[in-house]
Structure 1
Amino acid sequence: MSPDHSERRSHVVMVEPALTQLAKLTANETHRLDRAIVAISVNPRLGTGVPGTPLRDYVDEIDGVRVIYYVTALRTITIVAYVEA
């Protein structure tokens, strides 16, 4: 019998607008955002779907971050389009 395995984390890629925003964040903001991105990579369904688009909107009220992203069809890559911290 094979052991139960948790889902594999998706690979996270940031597009240019997100990278530009990331460059403007402080070290503390980057750390908070990193936790949110790890959570999304483990469970890409965390965010709320944006109607009429493939985008998902994830807001972490505790850390005060927002990530807009979409996930590829096989859920192996999560593409981050927008970050806010």
Structure 2
Amino acid sequence: MEPALSQLSKLTASETHRLDRVVVAISVNPELGTPVPDSLLRDYADDVDGVRVIYFVTALRQITIVAYVEA
């Protein structure tokens, strides 16, 4: 958890806002991204906001996210 908090603290306000928009979209529709072959992961790229998210949805609909925000 500590590495994630450290990375979040390095995001600018604009990057945080862009990432938040994508996280909300995925939370509303967890099937938004495309399945990654041979895995349970999904891949979603928002070209408008420059955010790419690889995520996993558990059986209880919890979402674990790894994100990349382009400058």
TM-score, with length taken from structure 1? 0.71
Which stretches in structure 1 are left out of the alignment for 5+ residues? 1-14
Whose Rg is larger?
A: 1
Residue in 1 aligned with 2:24? 38
- The percentage of aligned residue pairs carrying the same residue is 65
TM-score, with length taken from structure 2? 0.83
2:34 is aligned with what amino acid?
T
Residue in 2 aligned with 1:83? 67
1:70 maps to 2:56: yes
Q: Identify if the C-alpha distance between structure 1 residues 56 and 32 changes in structure 2 by more than 3 Å, giving closer, same or farther.
A: same
SS in structure 2 of the partner of residue 67 of structure 1? strand
SS in structure 1 of the partner of residue 38 of structure 2? coil
- Structure with more contact order per residue of length (Cα contacts < 8 Å, sep ≥ 6): 1
Which stretches in structure 2 are left out of the alignment for 5+ residues? none
